[in-house]
Amino acid sequence: MHLIITEKHDTAKRIAAILSEKKPDKERVNGVDTYKFDGTTIIGLSGHIVEVDFPKEYNNWQKTDLNNLIHAEVLTNPTHANIVTAIRKLGKAADHLTIATDYDREGELIGVEALNVVKKVKSEVRADRVHYSTITPAEIKKAFSAPVNIDFNLAAAGESRQLIDLIWGAVLTRFVSLSSGRLGDKFLSVGRVQSPTLAIIVNREKEREAFVAVPYWELYATLVNGGEFEAQHKKGRFLDKTEAETIQAKLGKTGIVKTIVLGKRSEKPPTPFNTTEFLRAASAIGISPANAMRLAEFLYVNGYISYPRTDNTVYPSTLDVKGIIESFLNTEFKEYAQKILSGKLEPTRGKKETTDHPPIHPATPVKRSQLKEDEWKLYELIVRRFFATFAEQTVWETMAVTVDISGEDFGANGARLVEPGWRWYYSYNLPEDRILPQLKEGQTLGVKDVKLEAKETQPPSRYGQGHLIKIMEDLGLGTKSTRHEIISKLFSRAYVHGNPLQPTKTAFAVVEALEKYANTITKPDMTSKLEKDMDEISEGKITEDFVVKESRDMLDGVFKDLTRNKELISESLRNGLYEDRVIGICQKCSSDLIIRKSKKGSRFIGCSGYPNCDFTLPLPRIGQIVVTEKQCKDHGLFHIKILNKGKRPWEIGCPHCNFNEWQKKVEEEKKNGSGKEPAVKIRESEKSTGKSKSPKKPKSLNKKNQTE
């Protein structure tokens, strides 16, 4: 029997449909769907079927010596027992095994994990590997007609990442969580990629906080003569308001066109999509990197696009670009396909060329009606980018005008799109035309209005997710397959919120403590070095054991720094975490209002002056509470939002205003006599729990329940 193993069930189903001449038979083996035809069985995994972990004696965080954990044995345990058992059963009957998982480090490791399971029951089984970048009939048949050897070095590189991330993550997370007193589901995660990434976000926020705005003024004149346009004084920014006002006062009612400079500006078409640029483009149209990868995976498995994890920005010569473009002649992209085919098929080339996968491109056409709205939005982005890489340059006609008003030069710039080129295909973020009226040198213009605008310099902007992924790539943090996951983890741990990304006080506390006492963890250098080592493992230059030992030795040095400063780190973390619980100042006694928790587990906002002050406000039962920088004008309290996995952030706003709104609704319902409890903000979070409890008026709580 020929056993084929794919990475996911949907991939197995699709490949079975392609390879079988007639519909394959579906058969369940140990509760797992398999597909059989002509002596062949295809089974799909669910990603990794085993995981790495420490022995059970290391499970207790408080009792484990972290020095020992650094060098502890790491075990491999099954994560999907039913799939493992199914593979064993099938493996006993197999004389030929083909690994058809995704072609990258992770995919190679997943395939080797499955191979090892089979070899335990059939050591002599013949095994090979197939590579493909699109799940289309032509490419799948071609791949299975020319199998290759399994790349054990590539798998070892993937396994080394698993081991290193486990060891670093476990040791650092436990140390920081124990030092801060944050255990249970509110533990503080730390990791070799996560922490340098968080430091980038925190340090940008520090730059913003340290920024001192500088006031300046800009002088504008509205000019008319048949048409109307605005020109700015050539100096641009005036740091001296008096100087600007003096010039403004002397300006007359007419101006003379001093110079007109006509020109052309061209824009080169974009390069093919690699993963980083794809995620940045998706982010620019409102799809987060994590969501973009999820959608891209769906499109890939269904044969609509190529493999979405690639560093390549050069289409290989073997890619049938003409055939792909021709396949769109009977779709809504017909006009674009015809235009491209009428010219030279010479695509742009990026700086990086690899041999594993081509840049991301459409594989087969699909109708808009066959996809959900967000799936189509992403598919269309990929199709349009593909077409744009074969298009001509975009050409703009430009005009720069200088007008003399009472001896002062004012300038205006116009631009008009004359040759759309690639922007006709890829029209995202298209700049608008700036049309100036017909003008001649020496022409007299009327000065309709003059205005002096007061402005101030702005702090550096926060990083959007797309921009952050690019920075991570430049610094060697993570890989094309993991960067979006790292950002998602920062959200799930309530280290950041919003987009652009804003760090919480907890993030500040963790980064500042690590930077001060063990800054190796927050710098990209160490992580970048390990990433390069993993590349060398895949190339067969060094061994997995060498790199894992090297990383353990690095961690030894880091941990010595942490241990030496344990008390200082603990104090720093606890102080920082306290700040993240502060909602504002109590209007009754001027003490801090903080997020508290009763012994029964309910959360509320209570006064730090308790028992002398008994002011409280209710909070939702579930979800991560994030304190934002926005403050209520009426109560002085910081607005809060609630994060629940898989859901959009729930903006509560000012908790006092929210409570007042709820009380007002209650009173209205009583007056109307409906007897129904109003479903306003503070109540909505409790729907999923199946329980409800009306918020109480601010009052004192029994002291034994007022625990932090």
- Just list the catalytic residues: 307
Phi, psi of 641 (to 5 degrees): -135, 155
Instruction: Answer whether 578's CB lies under 8 Å from 594's CB.
Output: yes
CA dist 250 to 222, 224, 346, 410, Å? 16, 19, 57, 14
**Residue carrying structure tokens 């002599």:** 124
Q: How far is CA 341 from the centre of its chain?
A: 36
SS3 state of residue 28 = strand
User: With the C-alpha atoms ordered 680, 686, 687, 692, is the resulting torsion angle positive or negative?
Assistant: negative
Alpha helices in 496-654 (DSSP H): 505-517, 524-538, 544-564, 566-579
Q: How far from the centroid of its chain's Cα atoms is residue 12's Cα?
A: 28
DSSP secondary structure letter of residue 238: B
Nearest Cα residue to 196 out of 480, 479, 528, 516? 528
584 pairs with which residues across the strands?
A: 593
Question: Phi/psi at 91 (nearest 5 deg)?
Answer: -60, -35
Strand partners, 33: 28
The set of residues, in sequence order, having a beta carbon less than 8 Å from that of 529 and lying 6+ positions away, is: none
Which tokens belong to 557? 């040095």
Strand intervals (E) in 577-685: 582-585, 592-597, 603-607, 616-618, 624-631, 638-643, 650-653
* Both structure tokens of 145: 């007609």
CB 420 within 8 A of CB 387: no
- Whether 114 contacts 45, CB under 8 Å: yes
Name residue, tokens 């035809």: 37
Rounded Cα distance, 40 and 470, in Å: 43
Among 150, 149, 132, CA closest to 141:
132
Q: Decide if 470 contacts 622 (C-beta within 8 A).
A: no
Transcribe 355-417 into DSSP letters. Answer: SSSPPB-B-S---GGGS-HHHHHHHHHHHHHHHHTTSPPEEEEEEEEEEEETTEEEEEEEEEE
How much is the CA Rg of the chain, to the nearest whole Å?
Answer: 31
In Å, what is the CA distance from 35 to each residue of 26, 134, 167, 191? 5, 20, 38, 40
Residue 522 zone, left/alpha/beta (φ > 0; ψ -120 to 50; rest): alpha
> Which residue intervals of 39-136 are DSSP H helices?
66-70, 81-93, 105-121
The bridge status of strand 444-456 relative to strand 496-497 is unpaired
CA 390 to CA 421: how far, in whole Å? 10
Contact criterion met (CB below 8 Å) for 362 and 276: no
Q: Where are the beta strands (DSSP E) in 138-279?
A: 215-225, 227-233, 254-267
**């007299």: which residue's tokens?**
444
Residue for token digits 């066959």?
370
Torsion of CA 643, 648, 654, 656, to 10 degrees: -70
Please provide the size of the chain in residues.
708
Tokens coding 52: 């790495």
Per residue in 508-532, is it b (16+ CB within 10 Å) or e — as a string? bbbbbbbbebbebbbebebbeebbe
